[in-house]
Amino acid sequence: MDDYIAIATLNDFIFCPYSIYLHSVYMETDEGLYKAPPQTKGTIVHEGVDKKSGSTRSHDIFSLPVFSDSLGIAGKIDLFKQDRKLLIERKNNLKQIFRGQLYQIWAQYFCMKEMEYDVQNLAFYEISTNKMFPIKLPSNADRAELANFIDKFKKYNPLIDTFNINPNKCRHCIYCNLCDKTSVDNVYT
């Protein structure tokens, strides 16, 4: 399982592949060193899910660990409503749905299918507005796109592979103040 890609990092890899390297370097340190307010909020949202707050319905499954041998990924879902066969990923704010966020929920979906859960619907739930955003089930082409992306992720080498440094992204990156690739300041400081 060590070689499995964490589903939660798929979106981060799209944002900046180098952030994955920095995460692995700093993951053992105090989170206060690098976590900015939006990320702290996100963590609290998921802690709420982990503690199973928000619903007491017996047919709701929270924080289920999931994995896929065929894709080489593992993670945890937020919520599966068995009565509606609905997999839900909760977000604080969803101004728009990014590709990486789609990859995240697709990845959870494929894991659950491989584990023989009957998932037939997907949705994001925006906590700040209490709105649900239904998502189409991924097609075969979507699965191939996700598999290709995971393959790139697995092959990524921070010492060799180049990437475009985008100062605008850096300003909003939680590792900005610890990153050797930029000298811009984090907007959260």
Question: Considering only CA atoms, which of 22, 21, 2, 7 is closest in space to residue 150?
Answer: 7
Cβ atoms within 10 Å of 98's Cβ, excluding its own: 13
Nearer to ligand SF4, 87 or 173 (CB): 173
* 173 lies in the site for ligand SF4, by CB under 6 A: yes
Q: Provide the b/e sequence for 14-33 (b: ≥16 CB within 10 Å).
A: bbbbbbbbbbeebeeeeeee
Q: Is residue 74 near ligand SF4 by the rule CB under 6 A?
A: no
Q: Is 22 in the site for ligand SF4 (CB under 6 A)?
A: yes
Find where tokens 């690098």 sit: 34
Q: Choose, by CB under 6 A, the member of 33, 97, 144, 165 that binds ligand SF4.
A: 165
The nearest distance, CB 27 to ligand SF4, in angstroms, is 14
Q: Which token pair is 70? A: 């065929």
Binder among 5, 10, 16, 66 for ligand SF4 (CB under 6 A): 16
For residue 169, the minimal CB distance to ligand SF4 (Å) is 4
